[in-house]
């Protein structure tokens, strides 16, 4: 199943810079591991914001929830999740 996930990160303004940098470092490692595993298929930054638009390829909504809630920045994110399916006019047969 494919899902589009819009993530908007909202770190507390009073968070210590060192704590924020450590969270970001661990988040980056986790996101890159999920990309290598094929679960996090696409990751785009939203220009001008601390936000991204991503495509996940998972077995179920439950798996997506488990992956998203495992992210170190999860407590500081507002997310919008949209289920996707292949468009009948798409010329890309191999893309679900």
List the chain domain ranges. Answer: 2-84
pLDDT digits (tens, 9 = 90+) for 3-42: 999 999 999 999 999 999 999 999 999 999 999 999 999 9
Mean pLDDT (the chain, rounded): 95
Asked if residue 6 lies in contact with residue 77, where contact means CB atoms within 8 angstroms, the answer is no
User: What is the pLDDT at residue 18?
Assistant: 97
pTM, whole model, 2 decimals? 0.90
CATH topology for the 2-84 domain:
Alpha-Beta Plaits (3.30.70)
| pLDDT interval class at 95 (50, 70, 90) | low
Confidence category of residue 90, pLDDT binned at 50, 70, 90: confident
Query: Dmax over Cα atoms in the chain, in whole Å?
Result: 49
Q: What is the DSSP letter of 91?
A: S
């Amino acid at each position: 199943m494919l899902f589009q996930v819009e993530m908007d990160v909202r770190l507390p303004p009073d968070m210590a810079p060192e704590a924020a940098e450590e969270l970001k470092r661990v988040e980056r490692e986790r996101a890159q591991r999920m990309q290598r595993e094929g679960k996090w298929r696409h990751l785009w930054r939203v220009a001008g914001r601390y936000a991204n638009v991503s495509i996940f390829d998972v077995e179920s909504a439950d798996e997506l929830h488990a992956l998203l809630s495992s992210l170190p920045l999860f407590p500081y994110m507002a997310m919008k999740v949209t289920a996707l399916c292949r468009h009948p006019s798409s010329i890309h047969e191999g893309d679900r």
